[in-house]
Amino acid sequence: MVLEARDRLGGRLEAGTLADRTIDLGGMWVSPSQTAVHELLDRFGIDFYPTNLNGRLIGRVGNRSFEVEGEAYENGIGLISRIRLGLAVAKIHRMLDDIDPQAPWQSKNANVYDRQTVLGWIEREIGDATVRRILDFTVRSVFCAEPNELSLLFYLFYLKAVGGLEIATEGGPGGAQNHLCVGGLHQVASCLAGELRSKIRFSEHVVAVEQHDGVTVRTNQRQYTARRLIVAIPPAFVERIDFSPELPVARKQLLQRQMMGSCIKVWVAYDRPFWRDAGFNGMIADDTASFAPVFDAGPPDSDLGILAGFIESGPADEWAERSTEDRKAMVVDTLVAAFGNEALSPIDYMERDWTHEEWSRGCYSAFMPPGAMTRFGHSIRTPHQFVHWAGTETATEWSGYVDGAIRSGWRAAEEVIGATSGHSSR
């Protein structure tokens, strides 16, 4: 039995429509190394296409504007800053060598890393102002949070879980933004639910869980009993459930410290991909803009021009309080500044403000401030009697991504199978 608080499937995967085309309002990219997602894409016959990198990226760091081929952002910042950026990335990767993604709180130097923010490390270790700005921008783009909010240990764990900083930030071969799904990644949720549809209860959110020789689960509508319960919801919503017996102190403290990122996802359609004709690949990476990064999300042979971009972290908090019309005007202004007056007249506009989505309250995932992981991280996957924990935040590989969510489901299912049958089998 699946109890779903929303009136739809997918959680932070969600379908939308733009210019009569189906789009992903939530997660949409797939990396070649996300083998859990690929297993499901293969099973359900969902095809995919590469993110467009043909042409020039439009970039800006502080007062420096540039255009570079593909996504080679570093080629636009000058030789000295480019060398220093390479050295900074090497420093980060040396720290990643210390991190055990299975138990990052037990990693070498974990206490040292968890006592500081990413911003503190950048300000202390990075002397080049341009490199600092780039690293700040990557934090906002990957975590939808500010560098002064993030524990350095959590930052390192997250990057280790995906394979490194370059993989987290790139769209090229191996990158997290490497390809998109024909028809949208959200189809995976619908396909998975195919055999369960009669056992999915929509618009039922859990309000209480009582444990005895099994579990009794009370929702806003009715009551259920079961041998085991898997909870796979954003951390902030676990706290809203009344557990009896109460959750362990460490688990409650961890939940209080896991904060959702701030993100507004925006799609814009034009009657043709005019930027391709002008030699651009549709990518905008501007650390001074509220609407950035931006990507060409259309298939290679698309007759429509389709751009997808993000308002993230601090700008998302600010623009979430403005009207849709104000946000659209700002987005179009950004695109005009990048691509010229042909961007003035989109044929359609669609946005999803995840900060106001009732059952997420943010995206892409939850992050941890200093001190949380070393003190309470050990509780993140520890079952509470008959209650097991899933969700992308609990993953040790591709945590924060759809692939991590799938892996967490496999792991929680194996726990339940092992506990109820005495053996584990996916």
Please write the tens of the pLDDT for every residue from 238-261. Answer: 999 999 999 999 999 999 999 999
Which residue type occupies 397? E
For the chain, what is the mean pLDDT? 96
Please write the tens of the pLDDT for every residue from 184-237. Answer: 999 999 999 987 888 999 999 999 999 999 999 999 999 999 999 999 999 999
Place 423 in a pLDDT band, splitting at 50, 70 and 90.
low
CA dist., res. 141 & res. 122, Å (int): 16
Q: Would the pTM count as exceeding 0.85?
A: yes
Supply the pLDDT for residue 195: 79
**Percent of the residues in the chain that have a pLDDT greater than 90, as a whole number:** 97
Please write the tens of the pLDDT for every residue from 257-274. Answer: 999 999 999 999 999 999
**pLDDT, mean of residues 103-124:** 98
Residue in the structure block whose two tokens are 């939530």: 26
pLDDT at 422 over 80: no
Going from the C-alpha of 72 to that of each of 59, 308, 323, the distances in angstroms are: 10, 19, 35
Distance of CA 87 to the CA centre of its chain: 27
Going from the C-alpha of 317 to that of each of 167, 289, 353, 360, the distances in angstroms are: 27, 14, 10, 15
Supply the pLDDT for residue 424: 57
**Which has the higher per-residue pLDDT, 96 or 426?**
96
**pLDDT, mean of residues 69-76:** 95
Provide the 3-class DSSP secondary structure of residue 386: coil
Helix, strand, coil: what percent of the chain each, to 5? 40, 25, 40
pLDDT at 80 over 80: yes
Please write the tens of the pLDDT for every residue from 357-416. Answer: 999 999 999 999 999 999 999 999 999 999 999 999 999 999 999 999 999 999 999 999
Q: Which domains does the chain have, with CATH numbers?
A: 15-54+175-186+262-353 (3.90.660.10), 77-169 (1.10.405.10), 205-259+362-421 (3.50.50.60)
pLDDT at 355 over 90: yes
CA dist., res. 24 & res. 28, Å (int): 6
Supply the pLDDT for residue 16: 97
Please write the tens of the pLDDT for every residue from 122-169. Answer: 999 999 999 999 999 999 999 999 999 999 999 999 999 999 999 999
pLDDT at 331 over 60: yes
Supply the pLDDT for residue 197: 83
The contacts of residue 6 (CB under 8 Å, 6+ apart) are 202, 203, 358, 359
**pLDDT, mean of residues 297-326:** 97
Going from the C-alpha of 251 to that of each of 65, 104, 212, 256, 393, the distances in angstroms are: 46, 16, 20, 9, 13
Supply the pLDDT for residue 249: 97
CA dist., res. 56 & res. 276, Å (int): 9
Please write the tens of the pLDDT for every residue from 279-292. Answer: 999 999 999 999 99
